[in-house]
Amino acid sequence: MLVAGAFAVGQTRDGATDTPASRPDQPPAAAPAVSAPWTAPATPAAETPVTASPEAAKSEVAKPEAAAPAAPEAAPAVVTPAPVVTAPPLPPEKPVISDKKEAVPAKQLFSAEKLPSLGKAMAIGYYPRGCLQGGVALPTNGPTWQVMRLSRNRNWGHPSLVNFLEKFAPAAAKATGWKGILIGDMAQPRGGPTPTGHVSHQTGLDVDIWFMPMPGHTLSNEEREKVSAINLVSADWKSVNAKTWTPQHYDFIRVAAQQPGVERVLVNAAIKKEMCRMQGAKHPEWMEKVRPWYAHHDHIHVRLECPADSPNCRAQPSVPDSDGCGAALDYWFSDKVLKPKPKPADGKPAKPPRPITLADMPPACKTVLAAPAKDGE
């Protein structure tokens, strides 16, 4: 049973989480030929290309957990009995993945893993091409949050993402007057590509958060599967929808962009435009982090910086040093985005891109996939 009010707003499309993998983060009305939310559109250089150079891939060589230090050759002069320490089993040094497995789409391998890998928490690789070691779960219910779509098992992340959400949820609730927030996809237990919905979200540093307040009751599992997020954008994609957009949404986005460690907050261009308008001539510094992107009309996507404990995490170039208002938004309202020509011209359906395989991923991701599961989450 859905409650009245916010939940009564029906959406035919749940861009927050249900976007088919082949058309990530694209407005339904317009299907520009982008392959990923990080791929830079021709004009605004807001995002960065996905393709890792061979050099970059090489630099992502697996660094297995350091072996236990060798016992000292000679006994120390003062003999103190060493404490008995039972070290947790380390992930295997060499991944036990067959060549056959390397050719399987990585989304199948990673989505089959129901638990995180053993090992120190680390984000590995790049947001759209990486994985997560030692992931931790965000509890599905908190004082000021509830996690949606539990069947997907995507409430996992690097501890920095869980920490971010535990701080952001009460801050957003306070700023908006909402009871709390609704959290969509984070990452799979071991990160990696997902079979549906995203191209990024692979390293445990990305999260989708819905543009609607948490209700006053604990949602049932069924509600969490069926309720859709609210679309804040008008049918022509040129402005916010006056019926759904509220000043609270502005504060929700502001508080997200102001949190430490946030790399980007992606929103629909119409939302960015409205925020620029509300601010008038002078824009606060945090607006640099609020970037326009396809879809994102019913949720924000928050991306965190690479954590200090993750040497194999590849950083995304910083956002341009500009508020991104005014003419910088023109591209997003051009025909190229809003009325893209169908491709290809011969009418044949576009060939879907070759799915990512393990061989395309940082070598450390094989170790993550082969590692024993971490219990007790």
Residue 22 contacts by C-beta under 8 Å, 6 or more apart in sequence? Answer: 352, 353
Quick one: 12 exposed, middle or buried, by C-beta within 10 A (0-12, 13-18, 19+)? exposed
Q: Is 14 in the site for Zn ion (CB under 5 A)?
A: no
Element (H, E) at 66: none
Are 251 and 278 a contacting pair, CB within 8 Å? no
Task: Point out which span in 117-125, 135-143, 204-212, 360-368 binds Zn ion (CB under 5 A).
Answer: 204-212
Are 304 and 262 a contacting pair, CB within 8 Å? yes
- Quote the least distance from Cβ 126 to Zn ion, whole Å: 15
Residue 130 contacts by C-beta under 8 Å, 6 or more apart in sequence? Answer: 123, 124, 191, 192, 202, 203, 313, 314, 361, 362, 365
- Quote the least distance from Cβ 344 to Zn ion, whole Å: 28
Q: Is 208 in the site for Zn ion (CB under 5 A)?
A: yes
**Three-state secondary structure of 280-326:** CCCCCHHHHHEEECCCCCCEEEEEECCCCCCCCECCCCCCCCCCCCH
Q: Is 113 in the site for Zn ion (CB under 5 A)?
A: no
Q: Is 303 in the site for Zn ion (CB under 5 A)?
A: no
Of residues 201 and 283, the one with the C-beta less far from Zn ion: 201
CA distance 35 to 38: 9
- Quote the least distance from Cβ 17 to Zn ion, whole Å: 8
Task: Point out which span in 51-59, 126-134, 239-247, 298-306 binds Zn ion (CB under 5 A).
Answer: 298-306
Q: Which two structure tokens, joined as six digits, stand for 93? A: 């040094």
Task: Point out which span in 67-75, 205-213, 256-264, 315-323 binds Zn ion (CB under 5 A).
Answer: 205-213
- Quote the least distance from Cβ 27 to Zn ion, whole Å: 15
- Quote the least distance from Cβ 127 to Zn ion, whole Å: 10
Of residues 137 and 370, the one with the C-beta less far from Zn ion: 137
Element (H, E) at 124: strand 122-126
Q: How far is CA 127 from CA 1, 48, 69, 199, 344, in A?
A: 36, 11, 33, 8, 28
Number of residues located near Zn ion, criterion CB under 5 A: 2
Query: Which residue is associated with the tokens 């019926």?
Result: 243
Of residues 19 and 367, the one with the C-beta less far from Zn ion: 19
Residue of closest CB approach to Zn ion: 301
Q: Is 301 in the site for Zn ion (CB under 5 A)?
A: yes
Of residues 208 and 323, the one with the C-beta less far from Zn ion: 208
CA distance 231 to 13: 9
- Quote the least distance from Cβ 24 to Zn ion, whole Å: 9
Of residues 183 and 270, the one with the C-beta less far from Zn ion: 183
Of residues 107 and 301, the one with the C-beta less far from Zn ion: 301
- Quote the least distance from Cβ 91 to Zn ion, whole Å: 28
Residues that bind Zn ion (CB under 5 A): 208, 301
